[in-house]
Amino acid sequence: MADITDIKAIVYTEKSLNLQEQGYLVVQTTPKVTKNQLKQIFKEYFGVTPLKVNSLKQKGKRKGFKGIKGKRNDYKKFYVKLPEDAKIESISV
């Protein structure tokens, strides 16, 4: 079962800020979280029932640093449609 620690960050990019004006919140999580689990997290911890949830799997990039090759972590990104009166300030894990 997923809990609040599976949410890694709220994404603040130019695209996500434009989506916030339309009532969407972009959330980055661990890859194991499902749509239903994310809805449950929002209900339990924030008291908000999402209207709609879309998900996107993001593979980690392969990067090199000082001659050492590595890979960034995989993550899942969710686009969460919130009701008009809902406000979520920040997530502190």
Question: For 1-21, how does the pLDDT look when each residue is reduced to its tens digit (9 = 90+)?
Answer: 778 888 999 999 999 999 988
Provide mean pLDDT across the span 60-70: 93
Q: Looking at the domain assignment, is residue 66 inside a domain? A: yes
- Read off the tokens for 70: 């590595």
Kindly report the CATH number assigned to the domain that includes residue 23.
Answer: 3.30.70.330
Place of tokens 């689990």: 37
Domain membership flag for residue 63? yes
Could you tell me the pLDDT band of residue 47, with boundaries at 50, 70 and 90?
confident
Strand segments, DSSP code E, in 19-82 are 24-29, 52-58, 62-65, 68-71, 75-81
Residue 22 φ/ψ, nearest 5 degrees: -95, 0
Instruction: Report if residue 88 sits inside a domain.
Output: no
Residue 52 lies in a domain: yes
Residue 38 lies in a domain: yes
Could you give the dihedral angle defined by the CA atoms of residues 35, 41, 43 and 49, in that order, rounded to the nearest 10 degrees? -30
Domain housing 41: 4-81
14 occurs within a structural domain: yes
| Number of domains into which the chain is organized | 1
Read off the pLDDT of residues 30-45 as tens digits, 9 standing for 90 and up: 999 999 999 999 998 8
Is 93 a domain residue?
Answer: no
H helix or E strand, kind and range, residue 17: helix 14-21
Is 77 within the bounds of a domain?
Answer: yes
